[in-house]
Each structure stands twice: as C-alpha cells, then as structure tokens.
C-alpha cells in the first residue's frame, strides 16, 4: 500500500529563513519517499536540501483548487 508524503525543501538551513518549496511524493515508506524526493531535487531543484518529510493522512480534508 502506497502512502502520500509531503516534502519541504530549502535552499539553505539556518537564519535568515530561506525560501522554501513543497511537493508530494507517493511511496510505501519514509525511506522510499526521501529517495524519490532526493531524485526530484537533483533533477529539478539543483542545490536545494530536504528540510522535512511527513506522512499525509488519507482521511485529511482534500484541498480543492477549483
């Protein structure tokens, strides 16, 4: 069973707070989600770092962008 994970990435750690970006990945485990996020960062956001990764509850309220 695959789970959805939210990933937050930053240009640098520390202060002042750097801009951040968020995206979601689908994986069975935290390790797999981190590996997928690292691959996406390497391909699309060169030089950025993972700040945090957390599990998105499937029963959460869905965001509607319409």
Largest pairwise CA distance in the chain: 39
- 41/13: higher pLDDT: 41
Domain ranges of the chain: 3-56
CATH, range 3-56: 3.10.20
Q: Give the model's pLDDT for residue 19.
A: 84
Between the alpha carbon of residue 34 and those of residues 3, 29, 48, the distances in Å are 13, 9, 14
Q: Give the model's pLDDT for residue 66.
A: 47
CA angle 5-34-25, nearest 5°? 35
Residue 41's SS3 state is helix
**Residue pair 26/58 in contact by the 8 Å Cβ criterion:** no
pLDDT tens profile 47-65: 899 999 998 877 767 665 5
Backbone CA torsion sign across 55, 10, 45, 63: positive
């Amino acid at each position: 069973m695959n789970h959805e994970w939210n990933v937050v990435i930053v240009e640098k750690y520390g202060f002042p707070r750097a801009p951040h970006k968020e995206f979601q990945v689908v994986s069975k485990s935290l390790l797999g989600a981190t590996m997928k996020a690292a691959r996406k960062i390497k391909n699309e956001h060169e030089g950025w770092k993972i700040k945090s990764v957390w599990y998105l509850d499937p029963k959460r309220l869905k965001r509607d962008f319409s």
